[in-house]
Amino acid sequence: MGEPPPSSAPHHPAADPGPPRPTAFQQLGSAHALTALTGGGVDSAWLLDPVWRRVDGDGKYAFLGGRPRGEPLGGALYGPTLLQRDPDAGVAFLRAYLRTVNTYFAGDYKADRSFVAELAKLLDVDAKILTSVPSLRMDWEIRKGTTDRLQKAYRDAGVTKGAPLPENRLVDRTLYAEAVGHRLRR
């Protein structure tokens, strides 16, 4: 829900990579992804802000790409429990999340040194790393057309194939609308 950073991979300009190898995807925490990348456990990683700054400018790594500029790449993702079985809990969670974003992460929240110090402590990262990048833009609304633009970018990059899925199969704004007091027209 902030501005995600680039993904990185070791850079070997003179090496012939040979034939493509099978690709396997793993989900790792931010710090673990960096450790796996720098330790050789993975060939590439999607590094989150500000973790990627630790390898930024290091000639052993190259920027491969990221999400289209200006597009958030996150959201409140719910499963069947919060969507169907207990939507009131889903709305309550979303209201709490939005209240937190609007209270603590609005504007240039990194200008508040005491907040940055507390955030650095909670994230177990040096405050200088946090302030080395601008404050994240917390965009908690998935804007109309975002899924179309992201699917196109991934398809153009060869990451996905096939027909794009319609936005109404990917995004349900019902709980968000209730959490912020809007009424959706059906």
- Listed by start position, the domains of the chain span 7-65, 80-180
Burial of 119 (0-12, 13-18, 19+ CB in 10 A): middle
**Amino acid of residue 129:** I
- Residue 74's nearest CA partner among 8, 147, 125 is 147
Residue 6 in tokens: 């680039």
Query: Of the ranges 58-72, 113-127, 151-165, which one carries the lowest mean pLDDT score?
Result: 58-72
- Residue 151's nearest CA partner among 166, 129, 130 is 166
pTM: 0.58
CA dihedral 27→32→38→39, nearest 10 degrees, is -90
pLDDT band at 25 (very low <50, low <70, confident <90, very high): confident
